[in-house]
Amino acid sequence: MPLPPPVEREPLHTRRYHFEGFRRSDGLWDIEGRIVDTKHYAFNNQHRGTIQPGEPLHEMAVRLTLDDDFVVRDIAADTTASPFAICPGVTPNYRNLIGARIGPGWRKALRQAVGGAGGCTHITEMLGAMGTVAYQTYVSKSDPSNRDGKPRRTDLVNSCHAFSADGPLVKEFWPDQYTGE
């Protein structure tokens, strides 16, 4: 069901995320993300001068390189546009994530490695979402037996409403973990 029609309004801010997943020739996986924030009006910025409508206020990119176990083997972060000249200086800190594993605890690992003053809110927030992009990329090519559309991973149980332990999908796919009546 679509959203109900809004009242008359003025557009002010647009945030765009773009994610892509790749299988590399060396057997690893690259997950790339980009965030771009723009305003629909011109405004003055103390560090950059006038920022025009549609000109990025924030533009950041990340490339995560993962192995088959979702362990971060390499990471590159870039800040192309930011409101302050100091912002790009934090991108090397993201290398602290090398060795971390995407899975349960990923967001906690992000907070520990690059949270607060040790990172960039926008890049760290984007990395949180990149975990599910990594999973979607991996399952699309890694498991030919998954082509029938049935999930193979049992750690999906209770990961969301659709995979509730007492729900019909768990009963269908993982009856041994089904907790319903």
pLDDT bin (cut points 50, 70, 90) of residue 144 is very low
Q: What is the mean pLDDT of residues 87-110?
A: 96
Q: What is the mean pLDDT of residues 78-84?
A: 97
- 118: three-class secondary structure by DSSP: helix
Identify the burial level of 119 via C-beta atoms within 10 angstroms of its C-beta, where 0-12 means exposed, 13-18 middle and 19 or more buried. buried
For residue 147, is pLDDT > 90?
no
For residue 85, is pLDDT > 80?
yes
Worst-scoring range by mean pLDDT, 3-7, 44-48, 82-86, 136-140? 136-140
d(CA 4, CA 7): 10
